[in-house]
Amino acid sequence: MTPITDLSSPPEDRFPALFAPQRWEWGGIDARFAMAQPPDELITNIHLIGFTGESVVLCRDSRGHWFLPGGTREPAESVEACLARELVEEAGARVLGEPVWVGAHEAVTDRALPYRPWQPHPRKFWLWGWAEVTVDGAPTNPADGEVVEEVRAVPVAEAVALLSGEGERWRGELVALAAELRAARH
């Protein structure tokens, strides 16, 4: 799937999997994506579509799973600090300019306790954005995170394909939407 450049229809029509209600069984979460910035105090996770030239930076974990760098916000950590930390930990990368926030998944869990004690519960948001990045180191792979075995910058179409597997077409559509938004700014 290549990014769609016909912007005459709304994103909800072009990216139906991204905007559809989702169930994330691993966390007992019902999620829904919207292109609005959520309240800061409800943002628990930050992820980035990092562009280097015309490629997207992806990470592969020890299970062979491809993902976009990002992760869980620590207590009292700003969105920007979390993004910077997670990029170094998972991709050995850093942001070269201001991130552009694409939208967020509103995530409501049916679990009795929050994922981390300081997080809002049962409703929280996963924030998604894009930015220009540089990969200038190796992932730091902290002991409490995923083990990243590979970081690769791939063309947008390949990133969409790699992320659309495992029944998660919405992840590929998210990259395609970010590529559209980036192209519209240039």
Q: Which two tokens stand for residue 2?
A: 């290549």
Residue 165 pLDDT level (bands cut at 50, 70, 90): confident
Q: Is residue 3 over pLDDT 70? A: no
Burial 94-130 (b: 16+ CB within 10 A, else e): bbeeebebbbbbbbebeeeeebeeebebbebbbbbbb
- CATH 3.30.559.10 given to domain 11-185: no
DSSP lists the bridge partners of residue 48 as 129
Distance CA 164, CA 155 (A): 14
Parse the chain into domains and list their residue ranges. Answer: 11-185
* 167 Cβ contact list (under 8 Å, min separation 6): none
How far are the Cα atoms of 14, 43, 119, 120 from residue 3, in angstroms, in the given order? 10, 27, 34, 34
> What pLDDT, on the 0 to 100 scale, is given for residue 86?
97
Count the Cβ atoms, other than its own, within 10 Å of residue 56: 27
Q: Is residue 6 over pLDDT 80? A: no
pTM for this predicted structure: 0.93
Helix 169-185, helix 156-163: angle, nearest 10: 160
> What pLDDT, on the 0 to 100 scale, is given for residue 7?
64
For the chain, percent of residues with pLDDT exceeding 90: 91
Sign of the CA dihedral running 21, 57, 40, 11? negative
Q: Is residue 76 over pLDDT 90? A: yes
> pLDDT tens, 96-112?
999 999 999 999 999 99
Q: Is residue 123 over pLDDT 60? A: yes
Mean pLDDT of the chain: 94
Residue 8 pLDDT level (bands cut at 50, 70, 90): confident
Q: Which two tokens stand for residue 116?
A: 């981390």
